[in-house]
């Protein structure tokens, strides 16, 4: 598709070329994440149309060449000529950077996409983009491409086809945008079905009743057809709470749901208490997750505490001589999803995922205090009883937790205790260089102590299974010897008293067998770190050691394989006279082998544990460690190979260099 480029075009294209020169400024990265970012720009625009009340579904389709289409069934992007820009609305949307909000007049009140940079950025970073608008019996089509000019430069997102029209069925309405991310920008990255499905599922929960579908033409599903997934939750965020609480025992049903509006500001909350002891609050602003919280969360928490204390006093549930319950008491075992829709949101925090607008605290607090009180005044007695009973028990536990704190402090004084005798510390005194191996079993622990680098590697052998902390109160957890050992070794304290600055080892490495028991031990330890020492994970200090599964000996040459694929590759290179040993556990390795394969920083493999998605991690831990045996069976069935995909690690992490020889 060739054409001449005149001066008038260059002026129009200038903005988009800036995007191509510095993609990072607009989409963060040019990796796989950035490629999905340019998809979200388009999806957000379609969502805006749905949220304005036009059309009730969004379809996404991935094609074999890594192009992708997004379709809505709304009014269609305006095709008429813009009064001052003198080009069609469609052309403006894809060729103008949204910064100035050129079309914030009453004709084109585009909100600009929630991620903020607009559809023109997607166009600028695409090899080609095609837009179809279906309106009143006419189908319009316009195309853009990033084409190489004679001088070798690239004209980004240039119009290569004027708005074409043809008649269509007047019943068809909406906008369809198809584009192919430019490999010159994104290399060979591909769209991920799971990433897109996860976000669509989240959007489906956050926008109850809206239908989403995802079709993947790259893979063939059942019956030789493309793989399709659909998401729609009529219950909205109440369904989200039920989903998060699957596997927990709820104190009442259904979840409590409140929606309140004030001018253009909308707040929605759904919550439900369970018999667990931790609080899980997930919050969003304009469908964007606010993982660091912010003023909306603060407002909700104040509202919940205030409404329950006021109501409790008014109804004499909290007696005259009794003290008010604390916010923490009311939130023990609480699962809640909070969303606000607002204008001019401001993000702060380390990862810009914290809502900063100060006015939001009091708006949310006032709206929800009223909302929760109204709810309580009409609520069934069972629900009210369940909430205050939970708070009463929590308040009692808080008193004993005060005692537990002194237990935690005393941990620092137990260096002389018999327990610590098992641990082999390293001689180096620089935490940044030191590593702590938490090793399953005394025999592997023994090998690790002999094989290690004494200067930097400390060994903590665990005998038996550590305590499963899920569903245990903090004071009981802190009575457990193995846990005391770990806390003491790390030096950080625990729970509310956790302080990452005191961490004595900047790599904490869990080393367990590659079998069911080992997977269970990993899961238990990960659960404890997730619940009570989360910064160990978010700070990037926690790792999983990867012992080899096979040893291949050929004459004097020994090779190790860490998975079946690697085994296959090695076996292709060896002759006929070899012996193959499958390691059943770490204990089968002698100290030299353990050092060589699993501990030596130059040759080992480590998997860094990280939390990709708080809601998913939360659900997974509840599934694997909580009391829902049925759900657990299903989960393990779904991820049948319990060892290869270390279930909990796999879902709570992003394997950073799965075979990280370079670390
Ligand atoms: F981002 C985008 F441009 F690529 C895009 C826009 C992508 C997708 C999938 C959908 C859309 C889109 C835009 N769908 N619907 C609209 N609607 C409008 O732009 C529109 C239509 C009519 C009026 C009006 O006032 O009559 C106003 C607007 C903003």
Cα 218 to averaged position of ligand 1 atoms, centre (Å) = 28
Q: Residue 45: CB within 6 Å of ligand 1?
A: yes
Q: Residue 72: CB within 6 Å of ligand 1?
A: yes
Cα 504 to averaged position of ligand 1 atoms, centre (Å) = 55
Task: Give the Cα separation of 325 and 318 in Å (integer).
Answer: 9
Q: Sorting pLDDT into bands at 50, 70 and 90, what band is 305?
A: very high
Task: Give the Cα separation of 534 and 528 in Å (integer).
Answer: 9
Task: Supply the residue whose CA is at minimum distance from atom 26 of ligand 1.
Answer: 107
Task: Give which of 117, 126, 69, 62 is closest to 93, Cα–Cα.
Answer: 117
Instruction: Say how many C-beta atoms besides its own lie within 10 A of residue 319's C-beta.
Output: 9
pTM here is 0.74
Planar angle of CA 312, 318, 319, nearest 5 degrees? 135
Residue 373: what pLDDT? Answer: 98
pLDDT in tens, 604-649: 888 888 776 777 777 767 766 766 655 555 544 443 333 333 333 4
Residue 633: what pLDDT? Answer: 54
Task: Supply the residue whose CA is at minimum distance from atom 6 of ligand 1.
Answer: 45
Task: Name the average pLDDT for the chain.
Answer: 85
Task: Give the Cα separation of 474 and 495 in Å (integer).
Answer: 8
- Is pLDDT larger for residue 97 or for residue 65? 65
Instruction: Say how many C-beta atoms besides its own lie within 10 A of residue 171's C-beta.
Output: 7
Beta-strand pair 579-582/542-545 = unpaired
Which among 440, 482, 596, 646 is annotated as catalytic?
440
Residue 256: what pLDDT? Answer: 98
Ligand 1 site-directed mutation target among 37, 38, 41, 46, most atoms within 8 Å of CB: 46
Q: Sorting pLDDT into bands at 50, 70 and 90, what band is 91?
A: very high
Is the separation of the CB atoms in 152 and 37 below 8 Å? no
Q: Sorting pLDDT into bands at 50, 70 and 90, what band is 188?
A: very high
Percentage of the chain surpassing pLDDT 90?
A: 61
Task: Supply the residue whose CA is at minimum distance from atom 9 of ligand 1.
Answer: 46
Ligand 1 site-directed mutation target among 75, 121, 126, most atoms within 8 Å of CB: 75
Q: Residue 177: CB within 6 Å of ligand 1?
A: yes
Q: Sorting pLDDT into bands at 50, 70 and 90, what band is 407?
A: low
| Region of residue 555 (left: phi > 0; alpha: psi -120 to 50; beta: else) | left
Query: What DSSP string runs through 50-74?
Result: HHTTS-SEEEEEE-TTS-EEEEE-S
Does residue 184 surpass a pLDDT of 90?
yes
Cα 63 to averaged position of ligand 1 atoms, centre (Å) = 23
Residues in the chain: 663
Residues 113, 119, 122, 124, Cα dihedral to 10°: -140
Residue 409: what pLDDT? Answer: 58
Cα 72 to averaged position of ligand 1 atoms, centre (Å) = 9
Residues 6+ apart with CB under 8 A from 600: 453
| Catalytic annotation present for 189 | no
Which among 515, 554, 627, 656 is annotated as catalytic?
515
Task: Give the Cα separation of 483 and 521 in Å (integer).
Answer: 13
Does residue 357 surpass a pLDDT of 70?
yes
Give the least confident one: 92-101, 217-226, 359-368: 92-101
Q: Residue 60: CB within 6 Å of ligand 1?
A: no
Residue 591: what pLDDT? Answer: 94
Closest ligand 1 atom number to CA of residue 122:
4
Residue 653: what pLDDT? Answer: 33
Task: Give the Cα separation of 242 and 235 in Å (integer).
Answer: 10
| Catalytic annotation present for 440 | yes
Residue 618: what pLDDT? Answer: 76
Please give the backbone phi and psi of residue 549, each rounded to the nearest 5 degrees, phi first: -95, -25
Is the separation of the CB atoms in 179 and 67 below 8 Å? yes
Does residue 133 surpass a pLDDT of 80?
yes
Is the separation of the CB atoms in 480 and 465 below 8 Å? no
Give the least confident one: 93-97, 310-314, 331-335, 456-460: 93-97
Q: Residue 47: CB within 6 Å of ligand 1?
A: no
Q: Six-digit token pair at 653?
A: 């992490």
| Catalytic annotation present for 48 | no
Cα 85 to averaged position of ligand 1 atoms, centre (Å) = 17
Task: Supply the residue whose CA is at minimum distance from atom 13 of ligand 1.
Answer: 77
Closest ligand 1 atom number to CA of residue 74:
15
Q: Residue 108: CB within 6 Å of ligand 1?
A: yes
Which among 153, 162, 389, 517 is annotated as catalytic?
517
Task: Give which of 240, 302, 248 is closest to 271, Cα–Cα.
Answer: 240
| Catalytic annotation present for 513 | yes
Q: Residue 93: CB within 6 Å of ligand 1?
A: yes
Planar angle of CA 62, 65, 69, nearest 5 degrees? 35
Q: Residue 77: CB within 6 Å of ligand 1?
A: yes
Q: What strand order describes the sheet that includes 457-462?
A: 457-462, 435-440, 507-511, 542-545, 606-608
Task: Give the Cα separation of 505 and 216 in Å (integer).
Answer: 44
Task: Give which of 605, 611, 584 is closest to 661, Cα–Cα.
Answer: 605
Q: Sorting pLDDT into bands at 50, 70 and 90, what band is 477?
A: confident
Give the least confident one: 36-45, 382-391, 510-519, 617-626: 617-626
Cα 92 to averaged position of ligand 1 atoms, centre (Å) = 11
Cα 5 to averaged position of ligand 1 atoms, centre (Å) = 28
Cα 6 to averaged position of ligand 1 atoms, centre (Å) = 29
Is the separation of the CB atoms in 570 and 542 below 8 Å? no
Cα 204 to averaged position of ligand 1 atoms, centre (Å) = 20
pLDDT in tens, 513-566: 877 788 888 888 888 888 889 899 888 899 988 888 899 999 888 899 888 888
């Amino acid at each position: 598709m060739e054409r001449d480029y005149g001066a008038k075009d260059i002026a129009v294209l200038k903005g988009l070329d800036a995007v191509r020169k510095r993609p990072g400024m607009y989409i963060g990265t040019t990796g796989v994440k950035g490629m999905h970012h340019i998809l979200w720009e388009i999806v957000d625009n379609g969502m805006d149309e749905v949220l304005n009340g036009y059309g009730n579904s969004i379809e996404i389709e991935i094609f074999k060449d890594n192009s992708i289409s997004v379709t809505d069934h709304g009014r269609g992007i305006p095709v008429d000529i813009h009064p001052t820009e003198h080009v069609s609305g469609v052309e403006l949307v894809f060729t103008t950077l949204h910064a100035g909000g050129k079309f914030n007049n009453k004709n084109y009140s585009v909100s600009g996409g929630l991620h903020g940079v607009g559809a023109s950025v997607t166009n600028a970073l695409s090899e080609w983009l095609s837009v179809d608008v279906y309106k009143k019996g006419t189908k319009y089509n316009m195309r853009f491409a990033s084409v190489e000019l004679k001088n070798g430069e690239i004209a980004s997102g240039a119009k290569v086809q004027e708005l074409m029209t043809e008649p269509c069925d007047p019943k068809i309405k909406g906008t369809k945008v198809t584009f192919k991310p430019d490999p010159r920008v994104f290399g060979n990255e591909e769209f991920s079905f799971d990433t897109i499905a996860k976000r669509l599922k989240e959007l489906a929960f956050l926008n109850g009743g809206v239908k989403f579908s995802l079709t993947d033409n790259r893979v063939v599903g059942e019956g030789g057809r493309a793989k399709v997934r659909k998401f729609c939750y009529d219950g909205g965020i109440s369904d989200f709470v039920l989903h998060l609480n699957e596997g927990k025992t709820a104190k009442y049903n259904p979840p409590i749901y409140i929606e309140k509006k004030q001018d253009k500001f909308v707040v929605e909350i759904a919550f439900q208490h369970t018999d667990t002891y931790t609080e899980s609050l997930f919050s969003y602003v304009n469908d964007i997750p606010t993982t660091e919280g912010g003023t909306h969360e603060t407002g909700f928490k104040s509202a919940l505490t205030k409404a329950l204390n006021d109501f409790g006093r008014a109804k004499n549930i909290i007696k005259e001589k009794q003290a008010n319950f604390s916010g923490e008491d009311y939130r023990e075992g609480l699962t809640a999803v909070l969303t606000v829709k607002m204008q001019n949101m401001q993000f702060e925090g380390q990862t810009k995922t914290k809502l900063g607008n100060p006015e939001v605290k009091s708006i949310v607090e006032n709206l929800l205090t009223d909302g929760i009180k109204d709810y309580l005044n009409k609520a069934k007695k069972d629900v009210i009883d369940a909430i205050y009973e939970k708070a009463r028990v929590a308040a009692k536990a808080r008193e004993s937790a005060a005692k537990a704190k002194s237990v935690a402090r005393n941990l620092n004084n137990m260096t002389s205790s018999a327990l610590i005798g098992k641990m082999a510390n390293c001689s180096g005194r620089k935490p940044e260089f030191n590593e702590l191996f938490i090793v399953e079993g005394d025999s592997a622990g023994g090998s690790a102590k002999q094989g290690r680098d004494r200067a930097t590697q400390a060994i903590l052998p665990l005998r038996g299974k550590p305590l499963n902390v899920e569903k245990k109160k903090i004071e009981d957890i802190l009575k457990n010897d193995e846990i005391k050992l770990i806390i003491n070794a790390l030096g950080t304290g625990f729970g509310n008293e956790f302080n990452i600055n005191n961490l004595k080892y900047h790599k904490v490495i869990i080393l367990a067998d590659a079998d069911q028991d080992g997977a269970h031990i990993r899961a238990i330890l990960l659960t404890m770190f997730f619940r009570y020492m989360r910064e160990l994970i978010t700070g990037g200090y926690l790792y999983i050691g990867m012992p080899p599964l096979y040893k291949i000996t050929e004459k004097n040459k020994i090779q190790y394989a860490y998975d079946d694929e690697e085994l296959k590759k090695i076996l292709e290179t060896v002759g006929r006279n070899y012996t193959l040993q499958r390691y059943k556990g770490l204990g089968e390795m002698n100290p030299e082998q353990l050092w060589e394969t699993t501990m030596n920083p130059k040759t080992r493999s480590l998997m860094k544990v990280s939390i990709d998605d708080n809601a998913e991690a939360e659900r997974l831990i509840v599934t694997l460690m909580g009391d829902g045996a049925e759900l657990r069976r299903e989960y393990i069935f779904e991820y049948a190979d319990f060892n290869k995909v270390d279930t909990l690690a796999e879902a709570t992490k992003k394997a950073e260099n799965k075979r990280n020889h370079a670390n």
